[in-house]
């Protein structure tokens, strides 16, 4: 699943071609991928408890809207209009936003669930083969903000103080805590493993057992790893591409993720593979205490 660096790089790659553009046509090709949240505090779901049984209109999909901002919180990306309307994109495992200039043809027409045509003739496509992602429709920015209030601090800017406050009462393994989006927004399996390795912290350690120095080191490692990944365009493990279809390069720099059983880059001992929070976790038993 794309994590914070992939979504942030996608946001940056879309800004030059979307900001200030007006949407002149909006088409939802598959209606069940878009919901209007009934409860701003709920999690993403297409169930009746989370989605109003309202009939979506093209206006809900930003028809005639001028795009004002692209805003990210954690792994979520919102397209904001000047009049306050918003569509929040959750990429899920295989979702992506693709920008096609006027002269370009879409070579992958399957699994395109939404299309926006802009006033310069270009198109923005939401494509998601496995349909674990989707679109949230918000009539105002306040509704979007209420939704995002349930997320933890954005991992790209997490401070030692905020991370310390989140960890002090939690007994779950630190890897599991980092994956909890209510604690820290944006970190998933890849960057949790990479950040813990950089901070030299064993992923199975109880969260509340970390010392002040370790928490400071972990917060710094999270920020550094995410910044590095953004500069590299993110990690393209399977499906991830940016808005122009380009792969990221951060996967070439992974120290532990996906390298279970291979030599540690620091000590050459075989990297350990275990399951934490139902996720495959790779670490070095010698370098991470």
Q: Is the pLDDT of residue 41 over 60?
A: no
Q: What are the E-state strand segments in the chain?
A: 23-28, 34-35, 67-73, 76-81, 86-90, 96-100, 112-118, 123-127, 134-138, 272-276, 279-283
**What is the separation, in whole angstroms, between the first and last Cα of the chain?**
28
Band (137; pLDDT cuts 50, 70, 90): very high
Higher pLDDT among residues 241 and 274, named by residue = 274
For the chain, domains (ranges, CATH) are 4-148 (3.20.190.10), 155-283 (1.10.8.50)
What is the share, in percent, of the chain residues with pLDDT greater than 70? 91
* Torsion sign (Cα): 195, 199, 202, 205: negative
Q: What is the pTM of this model?
A: 0.89
Q: Mapping DSSP to helix (H, G, I), strand (E, B) and coil, where does residue 57 land?
A: coil
Band (248; pLDDT cuts 50, 70, 90): confident
Rounded CA-CA distance 283/203 in Å is 7
Question: Among the residues of the chain, which ranges form H helices?
Answer: 4-18, 141-148, 160-167, 174-179, 189-199, 212-231
Active site residues: 2-3, 75, 279
| pLDDT (tens digit per residue) in 140-174 | 999 999 999 999 999 999 999 999 999 999 999 99
Rounded CA-CA distance 137/177 in Å is 29
| pLDDT (tens digit per residue) in 68-116 | 999 999 999 999 999 999 999 999 888 889 999 987 766 656 789 999 9
- Max Cα distance, the chain (Å): 59
Band (67; pLDDT cuts 50, 70, 90): very high
Among 138, 119, 163, smallest CA distance to 62 is for 138
């Amino acid at each position: 699943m794309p994590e914070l660096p992939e979504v942030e790089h996608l946001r940056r790659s879309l800004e030059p071609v979307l900001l200030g553009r007006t949407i002149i046509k909006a088409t939802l090709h598959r209606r069940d991928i878009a919901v209007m949240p009934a409860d701003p505090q709920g999690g993403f779901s297409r169930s009746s408890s989370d989605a109003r049984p309202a009939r979506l209109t093209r206006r809900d999909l930003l028809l005639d809207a001028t795009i004002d901002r692209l805003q990210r919180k954690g792994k979520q990306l919102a397209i904001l209009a000047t009049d306050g309307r918003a569509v929040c994109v959750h990429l899920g495992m295989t979702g992506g936003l693709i920008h096609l200039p006027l002269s370009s043809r879409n070579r992958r027409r399957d699994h395109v669930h939404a299309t926006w045509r802009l006033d310069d003739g270009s198109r923005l496509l939401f494509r998601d083969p496995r349909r674990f992602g989707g679109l949230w429709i918000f009539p105002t920015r306040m509704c979007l903000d209420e939704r995002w209030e349930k997320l933890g601090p954005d991992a790209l800017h997490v401070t030692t103080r905020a991370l310390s406050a989140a960890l002090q009462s939690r007994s779950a393994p630190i890897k599991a805590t980092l994956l909890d989006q209510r604690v820290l927004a944006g970190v998933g399996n890849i960057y949790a493993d990479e950040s813990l390795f950089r901070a030299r912290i064993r992923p199975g350690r109880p969260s509340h057992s970390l010392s002040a120095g370790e928490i400071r080191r972990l917060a710094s490692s999270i920020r550094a790893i995410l910044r590095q990944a953004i500069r590299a365009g993110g990690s393209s493990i399977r499906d991830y591409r940016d808005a122009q279809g380009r792969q990221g390069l951060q996967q070439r720099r992974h120290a532990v993720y996906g390298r279970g059983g291979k030599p540690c880059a620091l000590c050459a001992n075989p990297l350990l593979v275990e399951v934490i929070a139902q996720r495959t976790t790779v670490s070095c038993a010698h370098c991470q205490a």
